[in-house]
Amino acid sequence: MGLRTPLYDLHVALGARLVDFGGWDLPVNFGSQIEEHHAVRRGAGIFDVSHMGVVDLRGPRVREFLRRLLANDVARLQLPGKALYSCMLKEDSGILDDLIVYFLDEQWFRVVVNAGTRSKDLAWIRAKAGPFEVAVQERSELAMLAVQGPEARTRLAALLDPAAAEAALGLAVFQGRMLGDWFVARTGYTGEDGFEVMVPAAEAAGLWSRLNELGVQSCGLGARDTLRLEAGMNLYGSDMDETTQPLDSGLAWTVAFEPTDRQFIGRAALEGARSAGGGRKLVGLALNDRAVMRSHQRVVTAAGDGEITSGTFSPTLSRSIALARLPSAAAAPGGVVEVDVRGRLFAAHIVRPPFVRHGRAMVEL
Amino acid sequence: MSNVPADLKYARSHEWVRELADGTVEVGISDHAQHALGDLVFVEVPATGRALEQGDACAVVESVKAASDVYAPLAGTVVAVNEALAKSPELINQDPYGAGWILRLRPADAAAKASLLNADSYAAVAEAG
């Protein structure tokens, strides 16, 4: 038996097919993964993401600490509630995790980390926090739900009192705020608009059921994966890990090299890699034949072999899409490579992710 | 609990076999198998006329999650394939024992059917995972 979120009993009652995900028993689907996927692109769906780690960091020097800890720069967070996506690197620039950090007030930031890395992350953060006198508190008493899709925000707002609803609907993209006991943020992992909501564990099942009553589709990890891949978002452990760094993981845009005097962990190694050039790049691939690219398949290019890091069938585009790490010399968008799918080579086009955003195809097929 | 019709025979590798009046057999994958695979997106069927040994990989069913081979439950010659699956692979999810059939075989040896499992035995195999 694996770890269970506060929504486990409800998932079972709803007929979810459960799988082990990093030690957690979580729904992979509630019937049809493709229907769940389309519900999020066209209406609204709800995901249990309570397995993710919510960590509060408090203290007068918390901003200074995070400017050292993270490759992106929390100096960019000036509006209360604003969020930033960042990698947390080792000294050698290997990616320990990718995370979202929220600026709540000058003494309080909240970080959301991946489930599979949460204990490693906590140990790392605690070790680095000491000199800055930052208190590190894991908020495992909270459940987290993601409500995603073009109708997601109005569905959730319908459950709030008028003042809270107005505040929730007034949130900017990548901004969150406390609404009573709840933390509501306009973030997600699907390429659609929506909210991620942290609530006390005891309130999670009631919230889920009320959203179902409003027509919000229960969704599992299967749809979460196809949605995030269409959105061109990396999955930690598949598209990146401690052996890769942001520049070869499609995440150069998340590294704040300016100002040049900010000494974040991993900076020296990353600058070395940047000036050396070459190396590898993470790109998008789209395949027009009737075959599905899968992780670890070999990609044949003129500059040597690369590898699929995530591949699937895209329900929105009705063809296979993938992220792949290729030799930089063969990674330019518009190029064509070959992918070894079960012993046969298929031509795939290099494209710039995202593949799908707000329900619309973003790549020429 | 998955559906295991009593009037069919089964292979351990999760194919079902239906005996037809003309001496051929219809083959598909079980409800348990389609459920484990999840939503199917592509199905690759063999050429009509192809001769198969028992256990040959003869079709591929690919879902959002993974690709799986379908194995010939009996030796024989492919006499028909379900062309509708090219456009509508989801027929296997929706109706695995009916509209989701994959191919028809003329068995090389009529007696070989005795090697297949009955519904109760297959249900036990499927239950065990």
Taking the C-alpha atoms of residue A219 and residue A30, their distance in angstroms, rounded to an integer, is: 6
Write the residue in A33, A34, A292 that is nearest to B62 by C-beta.
A292
pLDDT at B129: 67
Tokens of B23: 């001496």
CB contact under 8 A, A290 and B35: no
Q: Residue A76, Cβ neighbours under 10 Å: how many?
A: 12
% pLDDT > 90, chain A? 98
Q: ipTM of the assembly?
A: 0.84
pLDDT tens digits for A115-141?
Answer: 999 999 999 999 999 999 999 999 999
CB contact under 8 A, A29 and B44: no
* B interface with A, Cβ–Cβ below 8 Å: 35, 38-39, 41-42, 44, 60, 62, 64-67, 93
CA-nearest residue to B65 within chain A is A312
Of A240, A209, A195, which Cα lies nearest the Cα of A44? A195
Q: Delimit the CATH 2.40.30.110 region(s) of chain A.
A: 278-361
Taking the C-alpha atoms of residue A217 and residue A45, their distance in angstroms, rounded to an integer, is: 4
Q: Tell me the longest C-alpha to C-alpha distance in chain A.
A: 59
CB contact under 8 A, A294 and B66: yes
Report if residue B36 sits inside a domain.
yes
Report if residue B29 sits inside a domain.
yes
Report if residue B37 sits inside a domain.
yes
CA-nearest residue to A28 within chain B is B38
> What mean pLDDT do residues A338-342 have?
96
Contacting residues for A169 by C-beta, under 8 A, at least 6 apart: A153, A154, A157
CA-nearest residue to B64 within chain A is A313
Within 8 A of A29 by CB-CB distance, chain B residues are 38
Domain A53-138 belongs in CATH node 3.30.70.1400 = yes
Q: How many domains does chain B have?
A: 1
Q: Band of the pLDDT at A3, cuts 50, 70, 90?
A: very high
CB contact under 8 A, B67 and A342: yes
- The residue with greater pLDDT, B46 or A1, is B46
Of A171, A190, A182, A189, which Cα lies nearest the Cα of A206? A182
Do β-strands B40-44 and A53-58 pair in parallel, antiparallel, or remain unpaired?
unpaired
* Tens digits of pLDDT across chain B (129 residues): 589 999 999 999 999 999 999 999 999 999 999 999 999 999 999 999 999 999 999 999 999 989 999 999 999 999 999 999 999 999 999 999 999 999 999 999 988 888 999 999 999 999 886
A-B contacts at Cβ under 8 angstroms: 33
- Distance to chain B for A62, nearest Cα, Å: 42
> What mean pLDDT do residues A207-232 have?
98
Identify the CATH number of the domain in which residue B100 sits.
2.40.50.100
Residue numbers of the domain that contains B21: 9-127
pLDDT at B111: 84
Q: Band of the pLDDT at A17, cuts 50, 70, 90?
A: very high
Within 8 A of B39 by CB-CB distance, chain A residues are 32-34
Domain A8-50+141-230 belongs in CATH node 3.30.1360.120 = yes
Three-state SS sequence of chain A: CCECCCCHHHHHHCCCEEEEECCEEEEEECCCHHHHHHHHHHCCEEEECCCCEEEEEECCCHHHHHHHHECCCHHHCCCCCEEEEEEEECCCCCEEEEEEEEEEECCEEEEEECCCCHHHHHHHHHHHHHHHCCEEEECCCEEEEEEECCCHHHHHHCCCCHHHHHHHHCCCCCEEEEECCEEEECCCCCCCCEEEEEEEHHHHHHHHHHHHHCCCEECCHHHHHHHHHHCCCCCECCCECCCCCHHHCCCHHHCCCCCCCCCCCCHHHHHHHHHHCCCEEEEEEEECCCCCCCCCCEEEECCEEEEEEEEEEECCCCEEEEEEEEEHHHCCCCCEEEEEECCEEEEEEEECCCCEECCEECCCC
CA-nearest residue to A321 within chain B is B64
Mutate to test the interface with A, among B37, B63, B65, B68 (most CBs of A within 10 A): B65
> What mean pLDDT do residues A223-230 have?
98
Report if residue B1 sits inside a domain.
no
Q: With a cut of 90, say whether residue A38 has pLDDT above it.
A: yes
Q: Delimit the CATH 3.30.1360.120 region(s) of chain A.
A: 8-50+141-230
- Distance to chain A for B62, nearest Cα, Å: 8
Contacting residues for A75 by C-beta, under 8 A, at least 6 apart: A63, A67, A262
Write the residue in B38, B66, B67 that is nearest to A29 by C-beta.
B38
pLDDT tens digits for A186-212?
Answer: 999 999 999 999 999 999 999 999 999
What dotted CATH number matches A278-361?
2.40.30.110
Contact B95/B84 with Cβ under 8 angstroms?
Answer: no
pLDDT at B1: 58
Write the residue in A17, A292, A294 that is nearest to B42 by C-beta.
A292
For helices A221-230 and A33-42, angle between their N-to-C axes, nearest 10 degrees:
50
Within 8 A of B93 by CB-CB distance, chain A residues are 32
Mutate to test the interface with A, among B32, B34, B41 (most CBs of A within 10 A): B41
Instruction: Specify the pTM.
Output: 0.94
CB contact under 8 A, B38 and A222: yes
CB contact under 8 A, A32 and B42: no
* A interface with B, Cβ–Cβ below 8 Å: 17, 28-29, 32-34, 222, 226, 290-292, 294, 312-313, 315, 342
Write the residue in B35, B44, B64 that is nearest to A313 by C-beta.
B64
Contact A320/A293 with Cβ under 8 angstroms?
Answer: yes
Q: Band of the pLDDT at A270, cuts 50, 70, 90?
A: very high
pLDDT tens digits for A60-110?
Answer: 999 999 999 999 999 999 999 999 999 999 999 999 999 999 999 999 999
> What mean pLDDT do residues A206-231 have?
98
